[in-house]
Structure 1
Amino acid sequence: MAALLPVAEARGRTGADLLRAFLAGYEVQAHLSSVLGQPLIHRGFHPTGVLTHLGSAIGVGALIGLPRERLATCLGLAGAQAAGLLTSFGTMAKPFHAGKAAADAVLSAFLAEAGFTGSPAVLDGERGLPMVLTGIDDDRLGAELGTRWLVVDNAVKPYAACGAIHAAIDAAIRLAPLVDPARVERIRCDVSAVTVRAAAIPRPASGLEAKFSTQYAVASALLGAGAPAWHFTDRGTQRADVMALTERVDLVSTYERITQARVEVLQTDGTRHADVIDWAKGSPGNPMTSEDTARKFLDLATGRIGPSAAAEVVALVDGLDKQPDLRDLAALVRGAEPARADV
């Protein structure tokens, strides 16, 4: 969407055009990720940094009406720029992966439109991106594209942290009323292998690092107040009680899905409290409602663009398929006055 909205505004596209392009790009990226996502992670790549280049390029290419041959070229140009490393987690480079993917997707589509060439075989064979980065040349890549819609299984994150942490946060929130933080001896977190690989910074020193620390997120949630966005800021990591509890958290690779977790708290008097989560809040098995999603957006956006503009964005998005152009929406999200006189 970061790539599509400014292009849709500049090219005078409708809300329905934007939705179609978004779905095209989302489905390409999601189907690639369903096969390549975990292999990329286990090789140290950040799938968002790699695959968002490809999905966003397809979306922008579809939005500006590239013919088939130039859409393939657009994909090749995007694949030539695709990158992102797990070692960036906890730094500004991690969200930069997504921003760079959006910028590179727009560049790729505009270059393809102008006749610039790139390999149309970026996904194929021994020199294609899947084989080069993961060693996988899998017939499943894109096999269900257009017949199985993965957007209906999308996850929306309720917390301002890595999605692989959410199940453990949910368990800790439910355990918080039962636990006396002063008596906690150890905390065992059974989580996915991906969680241990990508979200296990043992003692985060900043808000960015806190987003990738299951230990910190669980300790913070156990102390009550849920898991508000400010917990994952520099200010949040300066709480001495949370950091002391963080050091008592052990991670164990147990589950296959990142939506699963079990948190057990052992107290100094020998009592144990445990909770198991099968589907984290916001995941396909436990989705956020439209109201949940709107509330999260309003909580985050109000401080940036003001309450009335934030509410107007929600209203415009709710009727996006009926919007004749995207000028008002684009203006509102960047904090400018919308073009309509009645807003």
Structure 2
Amino acid sequence: MSKNPLESFGAWTAEVSDSWPADALEWAHREFIDVIAVMIPGAAEPATRHAYDAVRQWGQGPCAVVGQRSRLSAPWAALVNGTAGHALDFDDNFDPPKAHATTVLAPAILALAEQENLSGAACLDAYIVGLQIMGRVGQGVNPTHRNRGWHATATVGVIGAAAACARLLQLDAHASAHALSAATSMSAGFMSQFGTMMKPVHAGLAAKGGIMAATFAQAGITAGMETLDGRTGMNRLMVGPDYEELRDTITHVEHGQNLRYEVDSVGAPLLITEHKFRVKRFPTCGAIHRAMDGMLDLRSQYGFQASDVTSVDLYMPRVHFNNVMYTDPRDPLQAKFSAEYAVGCVLARGDCTLADFRPEAVMREDVRGLFPIIHRHPVDKLEGEFPTEVHVTLKNGRTVKAVIDMPLGSKKAPFSDAQYWAKFDACCDGFLSGRDAAELRKALERLPDLPQIGDLMRHLVLPFAQVA
């Protein structure tokens, strides 16, 4: 294997066998179910509808746009569908790159596969390949890249999407390496966009960029071979001038994030089965899910209500609090990145659902009145070093505590197939008729065996986003 990460990753992308383990294919299949489910309500969100209005004039084409009757060219369909998948922050997280992986990979894969009349099996294969490369690039720049404010869903995601699309187009090792390099020129996105419409658009831009980078390489456009690990490569520019010092002195490694690109064993371990996913139970930033799980566990165990509580103390890694920065959210987008709203919501209402992020729900006093009693205690440790602690003090003077190291839906406590489909049903409710939802489910169940991915996508070309 080449010691150049672009050449090593490109060779693996092009040449690895498509004889994947059964559990890898099963995980890939489940994540397509999850992301298509969340795309359905996400398609009706303002950010997605505005993105669609902006790009639809730039090119009709053969590719489905979720919630719309018209079809677009592959890059624009991927942009809109990627935005839809991320608009509610209800899509999965993948730990190695610290990114929302599927809402970037799946829209790019589905659009390009529909353009090329490819099968469901080809889509699953491309997903596993793209996920592996996204993870390997993410491990080479994280945890510092993410902790310093880069939105890895966008910055690392586009490179994973390029790998997936190169795989679909059957590019050789040379062209695949150039596709990955081209994608670094589209790598951008700041966490300062959290709580705005632009944050979900990041996922759409990364999906679009993956299609463009692979198609550029297919057309013969070449790119530099030092854009990941050269003197001005991604690691030195998007980690920082102290990159080498950080790399050489790292002592605690989580999720394989060691600030080194793995070039000798790109495909082993296979990251999809080694790390699995964090599938979301709540439509909020994943950084607060451990605290939400802890609060619900305490309510269930001790039977208290919000009116019984005098204070809630949250002890969490500082990097988690950095993601949920809004202490007084004023709209649904900000509420998705608010520790106070998320924990207050499950304390007051016993759950946190899509309905809790309607504008009127965010402003209700039952939750907002709890903000003053919810206290932040940042801890300067990584999430693997320090579990989230939720301390609840009751009016009778008793203090109870929950300690949560991994949320429900993660590798430690994965969703069952029934829970995936329950989430699918909840996302379809109010957007698809019972018949349309049932037909979509049948197609999703058959995804690995579909001769053409269009047999799935045709069930999403319905104008429910316009109606909503």
Give the TM-score of the pair, scaled to structure 1: 0.91
In 2 relative to 1, CA 121–301 (structure 1 residues): closer, same or farther, beyond 3 Å? farther
Kept in 1, the 8 Å contact 2:140–2:262? The answer is no
- 1:109 Cα shift? 1.4
How far apart in 1 are the matches of 2:201 and 2:161? 15
Seq. identity, %: 27
Larger RCO, structures 1/2 (Cα 8 Å, 6+ apart): 2
Instruction: Tell me what 2:266 maps to.
Output: 145
How far apart in 2 are the matches of 1:176 and 1:92? 33
Kept in 2, the 8 Å contact 1:298–1:311? The answer is no
| Structure 1 residues 86-235: aligned runs within 5 Å | 86-135=191-240, 136=243, 140-143=260-263, 144-152=265-273, 153-177=276-300, 178-235=303-360
Amino acid at match of 1:44: G
Kept in 1, the 8 Å contact 2:227–2:233? The answer is yes
Instruction: Tell me what 1:253 maps to.
Output: 378
Number of aligned residues = 336
Kept in 2, the 8 Å contact 1:260–1:280? The answer is no
Matched position secondary structure for 2:383: coil
Judge which range, 238-247 or 307-316, deviates more.
307-316
- 1:194 Cα shift? 2.0
Instruction: Tell me what 2:18 maps to.
Output: none
Judge which range, 89-98 or 272-281, deviates more.
272-281
How far apart in 2 are the matches of 1:50 and 1:176? 39
- 1:163 Cα shift? 1.1
Per-residue CA deviations over 1:120-145 (Å, capped at 9, x if unaligned) read 32212221112210033667323442
Matched, 1:289 2:416: yes
How far apart in 1 are the matches of 2:341 and 2:421? 27
How far apart in 2 are the matches of 1:333 and 1:262? 41
How far apart in 2 are the matches of 1:150 and 1:315? 28
In 2 relative to 1, CA 330–262 (structure 1 residues): closer, same or farther, beyond 3 Å? same
- 1:242 Cα shift? 0.3
How far apart in 1 are the matches of 2:387 and 2:437? 33
Instruction: Tell me what 1:58 maps to.
Output: 163
Instruction: Tell me what 2:98 maps to.
Output: none
What stretches of structure 2 of length at least 5 have no aligned partner? 1-105, 248-258, 464-468
Judge which range, 178-187 or 285-294, deviates more.
178-187
- 1:83 Cα shift? 0.8
How far apart in 2 are the matches of 1:36 and 1:297? 34
Per-residue CA deviations over 1:93-124 (Å, capped at 9, x if unaligned) read 11111011011111111122112222232212
Per-residue CA deviations over 1:187-219 (Å, capped at 9, x if unaligned) read 101122321111131011111111111121001
Instruction: Tell me what 1:341 maps to.
Output: none
Amino acid at match of 2:233: G
Match 2:172 to one of 57, 61, 67: 67
Judge which range, 201-210 or 258-267, deviates more.
258-267
What stretches of structure 1 of length at least 5 have no aligned partner? 337-343
Amino acid at match of 2:370: L
Kept in 2, the 8 Å contact 1:173–1:224? The answer is no
Kept in 2, the 8 Å contact 1:305–1:333? The answer is no
How far apart in 2 are the matches of 1:319 and 1:203? 44
Matched position secondary structure for 2:351: coil
How far apart in 1 are the matches of 2:277 and 2:185? 27
In 2 relative to 1, CA 43–278 (structure 1 residues): closer, same or farther, beyond 3 Å? closer
Amino acid at match of 1:190: Y
State the superposition RMSD in angstroms.
Answer: 2.0
How far apart in 1 are the matches of 2:330 and 2:388? 25
How far apart in 2 are the matches of 1:248 and 1:59? 47
Match 1:45 to one of 144, 150, 154: 150
- 1:183 Cα shift? 4.1
In 2 relative to 1, CA 41–233 (structure 1 residues): closer, same or farther, beyond 3 Å? farther
Instruction: Tell me what 1:340 maps to.
Output: none
Matched, 1:36 2:141: yes
| Structure 1 residues 235-314: aligned runs within 5 Å | 235-254=360-379, 256-257=382-383, 260-314=387-441
Amino acid at match of 1:100: L
